[in-house]
Homo-oligomer: A and B are copies of this chain.
């Protein structure tokens, strides 16, 4: 088995993606990895395993690596003696944030017929925008935290009582997110969030609430991770989450009763459904008075949430064998022929 790891991208989470990709080098023990970096200009580079160090990217040394071109069937190294195709069984989309999570990479892999592990286009659109995540969750009967929406050029009247949490609608990793406890802090928090997006969500900040993360996928069967209760500071800021993306050790299971566990697992399966086929996602839930609320869907979780699974590598191999492909559409020009006949031009 040979897997390509696609990382980087034109994303606020570009650096996080590099950390995730470096982590993967340790996580995969029996699988050969091919590392493909997307730089901030969206050029593709083939990175040697020995160069998978953060400094290689931050120093721009990666530009010495071989450039790749995406074509039908995969990535190509153009060479003096003809083009050469990079060989792998499937590609893991590990670009966090824009490009990776918004659906661009899924679109391109689909268009060019590259087998890939990632949420598909539609699943990306649903999970990348937190507003759409809420609408989607509601449509399948999953509770979400209440919210209101603010657009960039609207009056800043908010109806949710303080404290509130202010979030750009389309980013992950807590970028641009603030907790506002005092009305005097609101304007600044909104300014920060609007730096990143022109649509933001405002939610009541619920203290004392329990948070649980459930990751998983569907291969030829459901494969759910242990449920983790993440370290709870008020919320993880970007730098703390950043360190979090390099996790490769195992974590302990949350201490919860069977009923809550089952509710979380059932909610996860309902969300994943057919929509997230072909991907490993992590859903972050809140629990309050025995009720489960979806906080957010991480369509490409940091370091693939490997630390939550007992046999991550084998699961990925099973997933690779159960990937989802688009329907094949046969084009036979039957309508054009019949119109030509009707016009006497056939």
Residues of A within 8 A of B (CB): 10-12, 14-16, 18-19, 40-43, 54-55, 57-58, 69, 71-72, 98-99, 102-104, 106-108, 110-113, 121-122, 124-126, 128-129, 131-132, 135-136, 138-139, 151, 198-199, 238-239, 242-243, 274, 326, 329-331, 333-340, 345
Contacts and interface: CB of A to CB of B under 8 A. Distances in A.
B98 A104 contact: no
A121 B103 contact: yes
A102 B104 CA distance: 11
A322 to B, nearest CB: 16
Nearest to A138: B135
A336 B15 contact: yes
Given A54-B339, A55-B340, A340-B54, A40 B329 contact: yes
B42 A339 contact: no
B135 A58 contact: no
Contacts of A103: 103, 107, 121, 125
A17 to B, nearest CB: 11
A111 B41 CA distance: 9
Nearest to A273: B151
Contacts of A329: 10-12, 14, 40, 98
Contacts of A12: 329
Contact of A108 (B40, B111, B122, B337): B111
Nearest to A18: B336
